[in-house]
Chain A
Amino acid sequence: MTKKRIDIKKSHWAILSVCIFFLCLVAGCTESENNEKGDDFSFTTLDNTIKHLRDYRDKAVILDMWATWCTPCAYQMIELQKTHDHYETDDLVILSVDIDSRESPSDIQQFMENLRNTYGVTLDWIFGMDDGTIWSRYQLSGGIPTLCIFDQEGTLIFSHEGVCIFDETPLGYPEDLTRLRPILDDIIG
């Protein structure tokens, strides 16, 4: 009886150890490694057209989440201008989606006008408003700007919170900012 009890305890012990071991292995898979397939999110452009991620298949897509009151977001747009100018429009699409539902298309247009006048940028990519699904899905820890990059198949391959630079560090910027060019060159070639 005692031996049987010991055997049962040993088997329980072994099962418990194995379970804990596999749980530790699986836990590593729950972290975001950007292997999530690009969802087909939607947003509304400034001319009130609804667009989807799937509309831009076969192109790399930068999703830029921002708001007009966010000063770093303006700096991000200057870097996105450099990015936009470097790649062909057939290869890369930039979607700047305002995640603040209190803002209107006219707020965005005013912001764009101010930025154009101040920094001489053209901002000639796609701007729009979040319908509530983009920010809830792709935000990291609540900060903006947040950038996501999807490959030509719509797979999310990069996401980052805070300003990213295109390639060279502008004067006065910290040296350790994430660069977009290596990531995009890897996708676009």
Chain B
Amino acid sequence: MKYIMRQNLVSFMVILGMITLSTLATAGNDPVIQDIDYTPNNPNALSTITFTATVTGDNPTVHVFVEECRDDLCYADVQNVTMEKTSTIQYEREITLKHADANIIHYQIIVEDQGMWYKSSLEAVSLEGKETDDGNDTPGFEGILMIVSIVVIGIIAHIKKRF
């Protein structure tokens, strides 16, 4: 009886060990996105932000996705670019923001590895020094053309007087 129980215990421990090893082996192959960071800590609109990420995995392709928004809209020209590998598991990329009136950005790290996609959560960063845009700042096309016309006429009149 004791012998049977010991046999069962040994079998159980062997099976448990095999399961644990296989789990570790599997987990070691899947990319893991860690330690996402960005500088500067308080970016401005139109500034350049450096994103860094620690990503494990066999040979993943790592992207950073950045969208710029203001309160009532987001800009469709999102930036989704490949990050450069700076060390075995470190990746880095500079992103220059494009919209002066954006007051917040969302970013996300996206990893592609052997046909599988992994994403970090979408994080938000408030921008400082946004420029307001009420849409009425520029004089309009006709106004500019009128001003140019007046200047040209004035120059022609001046030249005519001289000669």
Contact surface of A with B, Cβ cutoff 8 Å: 9, 13, 16-17, 20, 23-24, 27-28, 30-31, 67, 69-73, 99-100, 135, 139, 142-146, 161-163, 174, 177
Contacts and interface: CB of A to CB of B under 8 A. Distances in A.
Contacts of B4: none
Given A9-B160, A31-B140, A144-B76, A71 B145 contact: no
Contacts, number: 66
B11 interface: no
B146 to A, nearest CB: 5
B35 interface: no
Contacts of A69: 67, 74, 78, 106, 122
22 contacts: A13-B156, A16-B153, A20-B149, A24-B145, A24-B146, A27-B142, A27-B145, A30-B141, A31-B140, A31-B141, A69-B74, A69-B106, A70-B69, A70-B73, A71-B69, A72-B73, A143-B76, A144-B75, A145-B73, A161-B73, A163-B72, A163-B73
**A contact face: mostly helix, strand, loop, or mixed:** mixed
B141 A99 contact: no
B74 A143 contact: yes
B73 A144 contact: yes
A67 B140 CA distance: 31
B77 interface: yes
Contact of A24 (B71, B74, B78, B142): B142
Rank and list the top 10 A-B pairs by shortest CB-CB distance, nearest first: A162-B72, A143-B73, A70-B74, A163-B72, A162-B73, A20-B149, A27-B142, A28-B142, A72-B73, A27-B145
A23 B76 contact: no
A31 B141 CA distance: 8
Contacts of A162: 72-73
A71 B67 CA distance: 11
Contacts of B160: 9, 13
Given A24-B146, A28-B142, A31-B141, A142 B72 contact: no
Contacts of A174: 71-72
Contacts of A28: 142
Contact of B71 (A16, A67, A72): A72
B81 to A, nearest CB: 14
Given A24-B145, A69-B122, A16 B76 contact: no
Contacts of B71: 72, 174
Contacts of A23: 145, 149
A20 B153 CA distance: 9
Nearest to A176: B134
A162 B69 CA distance: 10
Interface string B79-118: 0000000000000000000000000001000000000000
